[in-house]
A and B are shown apart, each in its own frame.
Chain A
Amino acid sequence: QKEVEQNSGPLSVPEGAIASLNCTYSDRGSQSFFWYRQYSGKSPELIMSIYSNGDKEDGRFTAQLNKASQYVSLLIRDSQPSDSATYLCAVSYSSASKIIFGSGTRLSIRP
């Protein structure tokens, strides 16, 4: 079992709709959770961090964390074609010396 699991996609969402990206993790001691966006040929760009259970909103993005279920998600409202990218979920290892990335979900926003 991988430590951080994501559906590889592609996830196709119509423009203007809500895109929902999901991630599960195996380390119950994990404390910090991150979502990165990566365009093809570019490096990961941090879009959200979340540290406590519940929702955290930033513009069109909402991160949701449920530590009991070991589940973190990212919602993108009013999806735009520019949101088409790979979204990487990352979870801090309990030793706090590294973060572990999932393989990413490819998101495609269709006009």
Chain B
Amino acid sequence: GAGVSQSPRYKVAKRGQDVALRCDPISGHVSLFWYQQALGQGPEFLTYFQNEAQLDKSGLPSDRFFAERPEGSVSTLKIQRTQQEDSAVYLCASSLAASASYEQYFGPGTRLTVT
């Protein structure tokens, strides 16, 4: 079946612009996670949704980062007033289970470059 999809795949933003990154999880998956991955590093946790509830946002690096999943399916990660340090690959993952204790499946990622 269809996997996790993300759009856009690539985004170039000028410093100070706002961006919105979309994630469409596997159908029926309860949990959705956002990660940020810098070159040569493992993914860093940003936030976790169980259905429409954002249960953990401890990894969001600043109040410029905001995520939502209003209907418990598609999620959007928004970054306001982008900075150069926001340049990274943003990964979305989903899981059938209602926790982070079971398998997560990743989308292809969005590569954000802030110039």
On A, residues with C-beta under 8 Å from B are 4, 31-32, 34, 36, 42-46, 49, 88, 90, 92-93, 95-104
Contact = CB atoms under 8 A, between A and B. Distances in A.
B45 A43 contact: no
Given A42-B108, A43-B89, 6 more contacts: A32-B101, A34-B103, A43-B109, A97-B100, A98-B59, A101-B42
Range for the number of chain B residues in contact with chain A: 20 to 34
Contacts, number: 63
B42 A96 contact: no
Interface of B: 33, 35, 40-45, 48, 55-56, 58-59, 89, 91, 99-109
B42 A104 contact: yes
Contacts of A103: 40-42
A42 B43 CA distance: 12
Contacts of B89: 43
A99 B56 CA distance: 12
B103 A102 contact: no
A49 B102 contact: yes
Given A97-B56, A99-B100, A44 B91 contact: yes
Contact of B42 (A31, A49, A97, A102): A102
Contact of A43 (B48, B91, B102, B103): B91
B33 A98 contact: yes
A95 B45 contact: no
Nearest to B107: A43
